[in-house]
Amino acid sequence: MDDCIIVGAGPAGLTAAIYLARFHLSIRLFDSGSSRAAMIPCTRNHAGYPEGIRGTDLLALMGKQAAKYGAHREQTKVTAIVPEGDTFRITTDSGAFEARTVLLATGVVNHRPHILPDVHDPALERGLIRYCPICDGYEVTDKRVAVIGTGDHGTREALFLRGYTRDVTLISPEAEHLLNDACAGKLDEAGIVRVQGPCGGWAIEGEQLALDTARGRMWFDSVYPALGSRIRSHLAIAAGARANDEGCLEVDDHQRTSVPGLFAAGDVVKGLDQISHAMGEAGVAATTIRNLLSERQPIRR
């Protein structure tokens, strides 16, 4: 039986693996290979990398560090987490495992616009599509930017990006914008152009991303989809953990869910959706796990 099984090998899961392995605990790290961090072409606001670092490179370095201290990593998908008294049974594509504690670090999946991968992926690599204005809003300073979205969420993202450039256009993903008077007033005050959808005909044209709208074909230096995301919390919810209406897991100050022994860290918990924040939560969770296990049975060398 393992001391802890970590589900998810993004920045939160890998940070927890480093901590827990260095606590001399027996752990397994289950990696389904779908960390959102792997999609990052280059992050420039992660401390310690003044020239930026690719998401895949960061994950590789963290994985190497975890392995150095004995973290056992397996490429498999977890299908169920079942509490059994003070332990858990974890079912995966490759078999079943038991653990005294579980840390869920499964993150979220961004909803994408209707755009083919052969356009989306090169556009993402070139910064023509971006998903996190907190991470890379600086990179679109004084550029021509579109936000695909509407309602409160689209309005908030467009207003946030207005802090970097005056050339912001909010395009509805479908035929009409769904904006109340308060949202419309804020957009007008900020000078943000509103264009009706639907969006289509996506293509990289020169150094810009082009798309068709109700106003005709438009070109932008960067496009931000503001279409929400899917929280990958179903494993914990099925195990009895509480979540909010959006699906974000509810945790206390020590990253404990409502199920004793089940912890959560990173984007699956409501927060900033930032690497640094996920890593901080993972450090807190790992330390709490170590102390919990020591209370049950003192850790001795």
**What is the predicted pLDDT for the residue at 34?**
86
**What is the predicted pLDDT for the residue at 300?**
78
* Per-residue pLDDT tens over the stretch 224-268: 999 999 999 999 999 999 999 999 999 999 999 999 999 999 999
Q: Is the dihedral of CA 215, 218, 221, 226 positive or negative?
A: positive
**What is the predicted pLDDT for the residue at 14?**
98
Helix (H/G/I), strand (E/B), else coil: 65:
helix
pLDDT of 201 over the 90 cut:
yes
pLDDT of 271 over the 80 cut:
no
Paired tokens of 200 = 């289509």
**pLDDT over 70, % of the chain:** 100
Residue-averaged pLDDT of the chain: 95
The Cα 267–Cα 287 span in angstroms is 19
Asked if residues 107 and 233 have their Cβ atoms less than 8 Å apart, the reply is no
Q: Where are the alpha helices (DSSP H) in the chain?
A: 11-22, 55-68, 117-125, 133-136, 151-161, 181-190, 234-238, 275-296
The Cα 187–Cα 200 span in angstroms is 24
- At residue 176 the predicted structure's pLDDT band, cuts being 50, 70 and 90, is confident
* Per-residue pLDDT tens over the stretch 130-157: 999 999 999 999 999 999 999 999 999 9
Rounded to two decimals, the pTM is 0.93
Q: Which domains does the chain have, with CATH numbers?
A: 2-109+229-296 (3.50.50.60), 112-225 (3.50.50.60)
**What is the predicted pLDDT for the residue at 273?**
87
